Amino acid sequence: MPDSAGPGQPPAAPHQRVDVSALSLEQKASLLSGRDFWSTKALPEAGIGSVVMTDGPHGVRLQTGDADHLGLNRSAPATCFPPAVAVGSSWDPDVARRLGAAVGEEARALGVGVVLGPGVNIKRSPLCGRNFEYYSEDPLLSGRLGAAHVAGLQERGVGASVKHFAANNQETERMRISADVDERTLREIYLAAFEHIVRTAAPATVMCSYNRINGVYSSQNPWLLTTVLREEWGFTGAVVSDWGAVADRVAALEAGLDLQMPGNGGLGDAEVVQAVRDGRVDEAVVDAGAARAAALAGLAREPEGGIDVDAHHRLARELAAGCAVLLKNDAVLPLDGPQRLLVVGEFAVAPRFQGGGSSHISPTRVDLPLEAVRALAAECGGAVEYRQGFSLDGGKDSQALLIAAAAAAEGCDVAVVFAGLADQDESEGVDRTGIDLPAAQVGVIRAVAAAAPRTVVVLSNGGVVSLEGWHDEVDAILEGWLLGQAGGGALADLLFGVTNPSGRLAETIPLRLQDTPSYLNFPGELGHVRYGEGVMVGYRGFETAGRRVRYPFGHGLSYTTFSTSALTAAPTGPDSAVVSVRVTNTGTRAGGHVVQCYVAAGDGPVRRPERELRAFAKVFLEPGEEREIRLELDRRAFAFWDTPAGGWRVAGGRYRIQIGESAAWIVAEAGLQLDGDRPDTALDLDSTLGEWLSHPAVGPVLRQALAALAPGGTGDAGADLLEMISSMPMGRFLNFTGAAVPREQLEQLMALSRRA
C-alpha cells in the first residue's frame, strides 16, 4: 500500500482559511453546532458544505439507521482493523500509518469527511474501561503512533479528530469528574502525546474531553483550548466537543471550542447570538470559531470509489500479527510437525476482537481462530480437536465443560487455551473493578495444564489481565489483546511461526493491582480524582520504586535472538544528543526487534523517574544481519517542566543513556554530559538563604559579610546554624537577625546575581 495519496486522492485541507465576514451573525452561529448527530451544517449560499463525521479510529462506523453514540445501532460494514491497544504493542509507526491510510480509503468510499480518533489518552490505571482505545502508558510511544495514524488518514483526504483532550483517563463519572493534576504532570505525561501530534501531523480537529481539569470543564477551559493548544502549540484546526460534552455553550466558545456536537436543534446557536446582542461576547470570537468550523467543508464529499474488502482483510491480518506479544515461551512455540493439538475455549469459535461502545465496527468478515489453526495444522500433517472448556454467558455447566477439556488434554501433544475478557467485562462508560480473568477460565487453564504435556494460553483482552495463579503452570503465553476482524488468522500465523512475534508491551503487567502507582487515587471520590502519583505513571513508578512486576513495559519475546553492541552517545548541543547502537539478529529466523532508548537523569531540582523512554525504532533483520541504529534525542528528551518558570528546562549535568530489552532490563549504557540551560541566577528577598549562599558570584561575598558579624569579627558565622536555617527566605532571615546585612549591600548583591 502506498504511503501517500495517489491520483484522485488529494491531501486533507482542513486548515484552509474561510472568509465568513459576509455572513450574518445567525449564519455564523449556525456553523458552531452540528446539523444532526453525525454531520455539520451546510450553507450552500456561501459555498460551505456539510461534513459527515463518524466514530473510528480502527475502522469506519457509519451508522445506517437511527444515530447513537454507544454503538448499539447498525452501521455499514467496514474493515475492523486492530484497535489501539494492539497497535500500541506493535511499537511500529508504519503499522499505525498503514492502518490510518486504509481507514481513510474506506471513509472516502463511504462519504465520510472526519473519522474520530485516534485516542491518545494515557493508560493511568489498568482499570480504565476504555483502555482498549488507547495506545500506551507512555506519552512518547502514544504520540509517535498517534501522529503516524493521523498522517496516514489525512494523506487520503480524510480529517482526523485526536481525542480526548485532555486527562480523560477513566470512565467513572467521566461526564463531570475533575481530574486534579499539577501542571508538571499534565505537561510531561497527559498533554505530551497531543502536543507531538499537533506539532508534527496537523490534525484537522482536536476533540475535547468530557471531564473537568482542576475544576474547569475541558470544553470551556481557555488555558487548555487557547493558551496551550493554539498559542503555544500553533494548532489551526477546529476544536470539536466530544458528543454531549458542552455544559455552557457561550463559555465554551469563549474558551476556544468551535464545533458543538451533536446538533441540538440550534439551542446553543441561539445562546451565542443572544450573548453577542447583549454585549457579553465580541462578535470577533464568533467569527474565529465559525471560520475554523467552516474550513472543515474542505473535507465534505460524496461517496467515491469502493472498498477492496479482501485486500483490506489481508492487511488487517498482516498488521495484527505485528501487534501480539509473546510473553512466555518454554520451547513449545512455534508449533510445527504432525502434532495432536487440543484447542480449548469459547474465544476460539466466538473471538473477541474489538472493544464495546462508540468504536464498535460492523466487520466485513471475522476469522475464527479454530478454523485458522486447523488450516495451518493440516499443512503440517497435524490434527486438531476442540473443547469449549468454559461458557462466556455462564449458561452451561462449567464443571462439566472443564472435566471434558481436561480429559481431552490427556491425549494431546499440545493444548492451546483461548482465554480472555468478554464484551461485558470491559466497555466504554464503565471502569473495571479488577484485573483477574474469570474464575471459570482460570480453572480450565489449570486443569488443562495439569493434564496436557504442554500448554499454550492465548489471551484476548482490551485491558491488562493478571497472570497470577496460573502463569507458572503453562509453557507459553501469547498476549493477543484485541486484534480486529482478522485476529484469528493472525494468531494462528504466530502460533505456527508463519509470522515471528515482534510485539512489545506498551503497558506494564503488574503482579498485583495494588502495586500500580495510581491504585490509591483511582477512580477518585466526591467528583474529584487526584493524580497523586504525579509523573510516576506506569513503568516510571514501578522502576523508581523498585517494585517487581510480572512483565515490564517494553517486554516481548521472539522466535529468534538479538544482540546489542557498540552504544555511543554524543552531545549535539547544550541540550541534545545523538545515540548510535548496533543490533544483530543472532538467531536462525528473520524477525523484528524494538530498540528502546531510555534516559536516566542525574541530580536536579525536581524528582525524576528512574528512567524514561525517549526514543525507539523497530527494525526487521534477517538471520545474521547487523544494522547500526541512529537515534536523535532532542531537547525534550532531557527536559522537565519547570512550573515556577512556566517552561521546559534542561538541567546541566550527567545523564545515562540506556538501551533496554524492556524498562526493567537494560542491556547497554553510556554516560552523557550536557551543559543544559543557563540557570536563572537572579536573587530576591524570597530566595532562601541557601540559594544566596550557593550562588557562584554572590555566595562568597555573602559568606564573607556574615563571617565578619561573628564574635570577634573573624569567626565562621556558625556553619551548623547556617545549614539549619538555609531554607529560610532572605527577607525573613533579615527580620530574624535584625538586618544582619545592610539593605544597600543586599541591593548590590541582587544586582550582581542578575548579571552573573
Q: Is 255 helix (H, G, I), strand (E, B) or coil?
A: helix
Rounded Cα gap, residues 148 and 197, in angstroms: 8
Confirm whether 680 is a catalytic residue. Answer: no
What's the CA gap between 371 and 489, in Å, rounded?
8
Cross-strand bridge partners of residue 594: 618
Distance CA 467, CA 463 (A): 13
Q: Are 159 and 13 in contact (CB under 8 A)?
A: no
Distance separating alpha carbons of residues 728 and 290, to the nearest angstrom: 53
Tell me which residue of 441, 432, 278, 464 sits closest to 346, measured CA to CA: 441
Grid cell locating 349: 469459535
Is the distance from CB of 114 to CB of 527 less than 8 angstroms? no
Cell numbers 455499514 correspond to what residue?
A: 76
Task: Indicate the pairing of strand 576-585 with strand 562-573.
Answer: antiparallel
Q: Of the candidates 607, 506, 606, which has an alpha carbon nearest to the alpha carbon of residue 556? A: 506
- From 55, 92, 138, 242, the catalytic residue: 242
Closest CA to 124 of 609, 611, 521, 597: 521
Separation of alpha carbons 35 and 49, rounded Å: 11
Nearest-angstrom CA–CA distance, 21 and 10: 28
Cell numbers given for 660 = 533496554
The amino acid that residue 171 corresponds to is: E
Which helix (H) or strand (E) is 653 found in, with range? Answer: strand 653-660
Question: Please, is 139 exposed, middle or buried when counting C-beta atoms within 10 Å of its C-beta (0-12, 13-18, 19+)?
Answer: buried
End-to-end CA distance of the chain: 58
- Active-site amino acid positions: 242
